[in-house]
Homo-oligomer: A and B are copies of this chain.
Amino acid sequence: MADPSTCPPLTRASVIAAHALITPYIHRTPVLTNTTLSQLASAPLPSSSPPPNSTPSHPTIRFHFKCENLQRIGAFKARGAFHALERLKLSPTFNPSAGVATHSSGNHAQALALAARTNGIPAHIVMPHISSPAKLAATAGYGARIIPSGSTSAEREEVTAKVIAETGATLVPPYDHPDIMLGQGTAGLELQEQVAPVKLDAIITPCGGGGLLSGTALSCEGTGIRVFGAEPSFEGADDARRAYYSETGERIPSVKTLTIADGLRTPVGAVPWSIIYERRLVAGMYAVTEDQIKAALRLVYERMKVVVEPSAVVGLAVALFNEDFRAMVEKEGGEKGWDIGVIFTGGNVSLEALGKLFSE
């Protein structure tokens, strides 16, 4: 992929430029509101002692849900992949006929496959052989060449290096690259435009590798909108939160977790971390339990009637259930409260997986 030193500067203006590049290829996904969820987030938490009439008629948290589950390939990852391809096409050293390569068992695989096919470029996708048949089929369905590998990071990276050596393909990483971050940030940019005339007070997004969170933070730079990151706490998946509040602020380079939010099992990347922490463009990090993620998932299915994957609702779970976050909004938002943008990152969950989650 393009040498990061030749990439556009990591600024809001570069997110705007990225949006212009990818607009022909992506959906401008809808922004939904939901009175029930806004009222739930505005009512006191069960743990505090509620006043007699605890549900305010004018909710102090007003949600605006950016539905990237309705994005092409079912997730925001299409934005970064199309932006990476557009930027590569501008590079004199890129060899289109050799194509692009990555390793991913998730949404990035499908996103890169679609972006490559759209541009008539080969895509070589290294996927662990334990990937679900549905995911393998979906990625192959976009015309990509699938190369099986072992499931550890080392095995996947080794196979990817071999594929690149053999084909001359250019690596497109899933999150740890400026072009990917700028592409993902376009979701935050659209969200800001779509809620007008409302002005958002905050945006909260899930944080896995940090591409979306850092991109969103860039899209909000200088706007006064505060950006927050949300992670699962299960088995230490909240690596970015722990690093953010540690004494040294040092990024935690590896995590090993089987959180149900399977898109968020990766540690935050170095380039995203430079935005999230070092440049202080993210105002806070919060974590939620597996049960809180499931409760948020249930509310979205039953009340909003949209299909989201577990990772997609981690930001909503924070806003609904995290006491520190709620206390912060109460303090900062006062009587007027806050308009909060929440990015639903994706909707790629199999009915079997959903069934297992909720059949107990």
Q: Which residues of A contact B (CB under 8 A)?
A: 69-70, 74, 297-298, 301-302, 304-308, 347, 350-352, 354-359
Give the docked Cα–Cα distance between A359 and B359 (Å). Answer: 8
Beta-carbon contact of B306 and A305 below 8 Å = yes
Chain B residues, CB < 8 A from A354: 351, 354-355, 358
Apart from A352-B359, A355-B356, 10 more pairs, CB < 8 Å: A298-B351, A301-B307, A305-B307, A306-B306, A306-B307, A351-B354, A354-B354, A354-B358, A355-B358, A359-B359
Chain B residues, CB < 8 A from A357: 351, 355
Instruction: Select from chain B the residue with minimum beta-carbon distance to A358.
Output: B351
Chain B residues, CB < 8 A from A350: 302
Beta-carbon contact of B70 and A301 below 8 Å = no
Instruction: Select from chain B the residue with minimum beta-carbon distance to A348.
Output: B302
- How far is the CB of A295 from the nearest CB of chain B, in Å? 11
Give the docked Cα–Cα distance between A359 and B70 (Å). Answer: 24
Chain B residues, CB < 8 A from A301: 307, 351
Chain B residues, CB < 8 A from A306: 305-307
CB < 8 Å: which of B70, B307, B308, B359 contacts A356?
B359
Chain B residues, CB < 8 A from A74: 305
Most buried by B among A69, A304, A307, A352: A307
Chain B residues, CB < 8 A from A352: 358-359
Beta-carbon contact of B305 and A347 below 8 Å = yes
- How far is the CB of A311 from the nearest CB of chain B, in Å? 14
Give the docked Cα–Cα distance between A351 and B351 (Å). Answer: 10
Instruction: Select from chain B the residue with minimum beta-carbon distance to A359.
Output: B355
